[in-house]
Structure 1
Amino acid sequence: MHGTGVVCGSVDSASLTSQPMKILVIAYEFPPICSAQSLRWHYLTAELAAMGHSVRVITTDFRMGRELAPKPDSRVEVFRSFPGLFVGTANRLEQRLAAGRRGGSAAAAPSSTADGGLRGIYRLARKVLDQVVFPDVRSEWYFFAARVLRRLDRSGYRPDLVIGSHEPGVDLQLGIAAKRRFGATLLADLGDPVDTVYSPRWRRRLDRRYEGYVLERADGALVTLESVKQELERRHAQRHGLIEVVPQGFDHTRVASPNVAVPFRSDRLNILFTGTLYASFRNPAPFFETVARRSDVQLWIAGNLIGEFPAVSRSTSIRTLGPLTHAEVLDAQANADVLLSVGNRQADQIPGKIYEYFGAKRPILHLYSNEKDPGRALIGTFRRGWNAADDAESSDAVLDMLVDRWLDGSLEQGLDLESDHAERFSWRAKAERLIQFAVSLQNLR
């Protein structure tokens, strides 16, 4: 990358919409895949299109038995291609097995219905391939996505801005190829840095070199935290340029339905967690153990549990809901008594769900295991809820306080749940910030 800095807020966002751009987003993870990065680009592309920009997305053609993610905005043109011989073939086989078990109807079957033994073989094979193929096995998509780039080139398409969405790393490599082919401005969206604490230890040096390689060739980069921006600038002091912070967001236009898929109880305080928990680095085990012993709290978990969580399976005070559609999740968030946010053990990441919770306008309980957890400042600054250390004593104390407030009807007292101050975290605001940054980069070329 090149350049030394820019004040993005100095660009008038109203003037940006009168100068529409052709934007090409390369995102392996995009609906119907339902993940944080997929939802990020679902919402950002929709907002960019609503601002008058011409948006195209190159993505995979994954097939899902039950689609949990929202459908792409009708104004966004989507080009899909085969994910690759290993992942793509496994996906097709999974859907055929699901269709066979449901009498030939893939839509009626969940996407995880493949035989347990076959799933185990797939996971093992993928784990091995992820260690062998750099950055991981999803790099096999490069050859299929590159064919789409060539077709667009032959059609005369010339984007003004190319965005490569990470993860996975193949999106960044395709972004570099697109910049070279079209001569467009390239933004590397580093939702997570390439080199992270959960990268294989043997590969971290290689990951860091690849990270520098990408930053050197991109015109700018997006990250989700100021601390990550500073870390990348420190790591690549001779090669860094313009890096902008564009975190996750929430849909400021959505009106929640009172009809929810979660059977909330009227005789208990209902706490809802939505998202993904990892036993290795986002694991509120002390809080779970505390909830498991109580009869005045009901904890609902909608999402994925990666690893072992013993307290979840042995207590009736904790219920897992399995996969819900994104719309069902948003409706449940807006109707829960309290929303549970769990910080990572590492302080250079913040789960994007915390911003989505802002849109639900419900009290948030944020658990932290690292004193530098960036979620603590968000909750405190905007008076959206409470922070608590993830240990047994703090968990009991905060639950006692919440139950008392719930019983006397003062759960929201002292909080600022309706304030428009949080609008800065909406997807519309994030899209405007992205465009401001892109315009500033183009002015420097």
Structure 2
Amino acid sequence: MTRPHRAWRLAAAGAAAMLVLTACGGDEDGDGGDTAAEEETPTGEEEPPQAGGEECPAPPAQEGDGELVFGSLLPRTGDLAFLGPPEEAGVQLAVDEMNAAGGVLGQDVRIVWGDSGDGSPDIAPDETDKLLNAGADAILGAASSSVSVSVLDKITSANTLQMSPANTSTAFDNCDDNGYYFRTSPSDVLQGAVMADLVAQDGHSNLAILFRQEAYGQALADNVEKVFTEAGGNVVEKVPYTPEATSWTNEVQTIAAADPDAIVVIGFEETTSIVPEMISNNIGPADKQVYFVDGNLADWSAEFDPGTLQGVRGTFPGSELGAQFRDRLLEADPNLEDFTYGPEAYDATILLGLAAIAGEDDSGATLAANLHAVSSEGTECGGFEECAGLLEDGEDIDYEGVSGPINFNQWGSPSAATIGIYEYKRDNTFENVDYIQGDIS
């Protein structure tokens, strides 16, 4: 089941920034992206900067010690702990492949494992100190945008690079990180536009948005509202709730009173409590068209009775996960049941290794200075061994990731990405119905 092909433009982040959205059927057996659930985090009230604007300054030159060390700040505990295994598997697979090919700078790459601990504000800063003290040249993580925001200054002030496989908040679309922050997942400028387009294409004109009031939820809600209203739609209610909330009765009743055609729910695991509240107020999936996003697009078959979510639609960043790469991730962790953000974690790790080779050094500044160079305007290559061989032969390279092509913009974010569109079946699991490619230009 696929939607018709279309290619057109939507204003997304200001008059100078345009999103080019292209539908591409969901039947390919590609080797990229994800399929599942997740994500994060606070403080995105600001209007996103316009793409194509300021150029961020490069970090000052440094010299490393010759050993490339990664620190992992991925979730092992907390609300997003289910994302840890596939992300860690992606990192481990990449490091295994680098070391099997001879390592980087003549030495094996080393990993120091930590925990972002998304449920507690104290865990990530303490774990970051541990990783920095262990000599990490780059820290991979966090998954949660709010956690990444909380440790960004600590990491970058240590002249260490931070690279997340899962942050999507627009809070990172600026130069506040001194050139030390990168991510392999796209800004929610794109997911917000695709969601707004989906709601409009489904024939709805009056939309309500219920969202976590934090960097991830606020930014995504703002982008959905912006694009939907610019397309002529009406947002009848936009209702926030705090991440610490234990009751959503007032918020749900506010939305019910507005009688929207459709409802976008931007949340995490609390979705299992929000949906029953919606049902009791006659605005559940059987009564209204409900939409989820990457934070709550999950397998809820164990949490809900059959049919509860049938017909709910959702968006999630990432192209189709091919069987070959899925098998490779299972080699790194045979117990994997979910593969969400595994491809993005793999790509982030491989890119850092290639950046070290290109710059002939492992310092955070060298990695930051070379990530753009190894991901654009060179000979296309895939996999560490092939790309490293080209670099050693003196060629410029363009690494093509398993999560899709990765070309970083001036803020260290992908300038193009794919968003999947999914629909829930009677068993409360979801299936893909389309993929939308988007460029921010």
| Alignment TM-score, normalising by the size of structure 1 | 0.26
Higher strand share: 2
| Alignment TM-score, normalising by the size of structure 2 | 0.27
Higher helix share: 1
